[in-house]
């Protein structure tokens, strides 16, 4: 005796209209810390706001790119790959950024960027 009577054949429309992917298949990968990755830096701070922050904090274009990747929770090796530079160059940028902003780690850097972002927001911009 077979179990073929337990499974129904797919209706014809199912073959032409595949089901949407499962939510769990789209779950974000974990970061190096084991936590879900942070949102994209531009999801929280717009390009225009990044430009204002860069000017206010005297950050170069490349320094802002590095900060955005750090803000998104990426590690230096991933930043190097994405920017097409060596990990040593990324590390040098990070040290320069820390010195410019008077911070000593990624956590303090993110807090400093968020503080600058909030300081620059006008009341009509809202949250």
Give the domain ranges of the chain: 37-121
Q: In the prediction, which pLDDT does 82 show? A: 95
User: CA 22: distance to chain centroid?
Assistant: 23
Give the global pTM. Answer: 0.64
Q: What is the CATH number of domain 37-121?
A: 1.10.10.10
Q: In the prediction, which pLDDT does 69 show? A: 95
Q: How confident is the model at residue 124 (pLDDT cuts 50, 70, 90)?
A: low
Q: Look up residue 6 and give its two tokens.
A: 């337990």
The percent of residues above 90 in pLDDT, for the chain, comes to 52
Mean per-residue pLDDT over the chain, rounded: 76
What 3-state class would DSSP assign to 124? helix
Length in residues, the chain:
127
Q: In the prediction, which pLDDT does 26 show? A: 37
Q: In the prediction, which pLDDT does 40 show? A: 57
Angle at 79 between CA 22 and CA 25, to 5 degrees: 5
Q: In the prediction, which pLDDT does 20 show? A: 40
Q: In the prediction, which pLDDT does 78 show? A: 96
Spatial neighbors of 53 by CB under 8 A, at least 6 apart, are: 45, 59, 64, 113, 116, 117, 120
Looking at 72-105, list the stretches that DSSP marks H as alpha helix, in order from N- to C-terminal side: 76-83, 87-101
């Amino acid at each position: 005796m077979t179990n073929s009577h337990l499974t129904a054949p797919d209706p014809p429309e199912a073959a032409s209209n595949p089901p949407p992917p499962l939510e769990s298949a789209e779950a974000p990968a974990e970061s190096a810390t084991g936590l879900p990755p942070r949102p994209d830096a531009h999801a929280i701070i717009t390009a225009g706001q990044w430009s204002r922050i860069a000017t206010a904090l005297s950050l170069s274009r490349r320094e802002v790119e590095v900060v955005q990747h750090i803000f998104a929770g990426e590690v230096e090796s991933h930043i190097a790959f994405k920017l097409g530079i060596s990990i040593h160059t990324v590390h040098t940028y990070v040290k320069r950024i820390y010195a410019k902003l008077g911070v000593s780690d990624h956590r303090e850097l993110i807090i400093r960027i968020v503080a600058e972002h909030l300081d620059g927001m006008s009341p009509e911009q809202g949250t």
